[in-house]
Amino acid sequence: MRIDVFRAKQSAMENIMHSGTTLTSEERRLVDKMMLDGLRAGLALPGDERNKLTELKKELSQACIGFNNNCNEEQGVVTFTYEQLGGVPEDVISGYTKRSQNGTEVYDVTFQWLDITPLLKFAENPETRRIAYCGFENRLAVNAPIMSRILDLRRQIATLLGYPTWADYVTEVKMAKTAKGVEEFLTDAERKLRPIGLRDLETLLALKRKDHSEMGLPFDGEFWAWDHQYYERKYLAESLTLDEEMIKEYFPVASVVPAILEIYRELLGVTFFETKGETWHPDVQLYALWGNSAKEIPEFLGYFYLDIFPREAKYSHAAVWPLIPGYDRPDSSRNYPVAAMVANLARATPDKPSLMHHAEVVTFFHEMGHLFHELLSRTRFSCFHGTTVAGDFMEAPSQMLENWCYEPKVLERMSSHYRTGKPLDDGLVEKIVKSRYVNVGLFYLTQVSWSMFDLEVHACQETMDYTKLWNELRESTALLKGGNLGAGQGALRALAGDYDVGLYGYLYSLVFAADMYAAVFRDDPLDPARGMLYREKVLRPGSSKDEMDLLKDFLGREPNSEAFARQLFG
């Protein structure tokens, strides 16, 4: 925003106040937002301070670009022989690059999730897992000094704008409102989760003791960071006889993706068709979205892209990006939204089609929730469209929708064995549902440790040893030992994007997600009437309403944490 535009807006606001003009709720919210945005952008500062702020922001932008470029371009590998990969499924090994090294056949394992995660879950040799984990932690150590510079620049900007810390600056526009509020939330979450995490740790450590005895390996009495995924997977397999590799045979991409789209179609009252149009890669699909209506001509709602398979230099996780917001034009016509969903689902191998682990099904369902938030929002002004809600609420709608992936009748609809076409039987469905909260303490304590790191580095007044803090929090909060494993924070790309002081939002919004699901959908999650209530009360307003008002409108009461406590603590 230019300084002259900001001053014109200030004058306009004063004129509105003096004239007694009545504004709609969305217009009033827009005026308030424009004034706050101008202040937060430093437009009320003296000229010399504005110039300094501009320079700091330019440098910060360049540092963040460099950080993210390193993330996108990371191509590191860790190399093992076939024997060292013992336990890793053959279809996974077949996807690794095989080459000769000093006359020995070896396999290069990239640090992409599809490569490294199966190794950490299945490799029987603890030294293989240790080497892989340490390599993974340090894959972006090059970003450690860049992160230090980013944090220093943010401290300077916060001071210039009159905020105690960058954390206070960021949380001003969140539901939590203050850095202190976030600290209190995380401290309380850690206190409640720690006993559950210690219980999980004891269970997995006992399994490690038994495993090492059976394999003839020395047992050191410790539970290392590289033990976590391996023994969590073994515990699921042994306690629930739940074989992840067998389960994924019921989730071929060619069946799951259309099934998820069909569920959303029915729940939210929409129709979509694949259409021709320019895309950025041959794999990308373009869809047109329409609303179901009794009208003779259905209502057009927008377009979306699906880009679901990996390729070199592509964003390596799953996400939804708004490309064009929706809004009302001055002539009362509509500017329709466009959004894209990106994922990295395994490609087919010579022996099997593209298959999804259940966790990937959950992620896909979650991201589709963000996609429809973008497409089904209907606001007058573009700045309120879609997922522009407060960062610590933004995940709540999609987190609520993850519950569908543990509903028996939904699992039956989404599953189809790639050979037989049969859905999951009742026994397997029951095991998947039971698996949801296995070792939940350690899982959420890891989330808390990342969130505490995010908060502490943005709330400190001066530079510190960030690598030391990262490793200390992993041990003290996440309960995963390993000592100084390197600069794992270098891969925390959220801190160099627009999610800084935002990692706590994952847990924070889960409270709302659990409440929304329990209050409205638990009795009948596929009921179109409830889906339309959700569409109208949660998706349609975007950020044109305060998030707390939106929740109260949907729930018919104040939100509370009771449903979350029941889910988490049983």
Among the listed residues 488, 500, 496, 497, the one whose alpha carbon sits nearest the alpha carbon of residue 455: 500
In the chain, what is the greatest distance between 2 CA atoms, to the nearest angstrom? Answer: 85
367 flagged as catalytic: yes
Structure-token match 């502490």, residue found: 456
- Provide the phi-psi class of 335: left if phi over 0, else alpha when psi is between -120 and 50, else beta: beta
Torsion of CA 409, 346, 225, 87, to 10 degrees: 100
Among the listed residues 324, 81, 42, 64, the one whose alpha carbon sits nearest the alpha carbon of residue 161: 42
Separation of CA 482 from chain center: 26
Among the listed residues 521, 515, 508, the one whose alpha carbon sits nearest the alpha carbon of residue 551: 515
Report the alpha-carbon distance of residue 223 to residue 214 in Å, rounded.
Answer: 17
> What is each CA distance from 479 to 203, 492, 517, 537, in whole angstroms?
13, 19, 31, 40
- Provide the phi-psi class of 300: left if phi over 0, else alpha when psi is between -120 and 50, else beta: beta
Separation of CA 320 from chain center: 10
Report the alpha-carbon distance of residue 457 to residue 455 in Å, rounded.
Answer: 6
Q: Which of 367, 395, 402, 547 is catalytic?
A: 367
Q: Which two tokens stand for residue 507?
A: 């847990």
Q: Which residues are catalytic?
A: 367
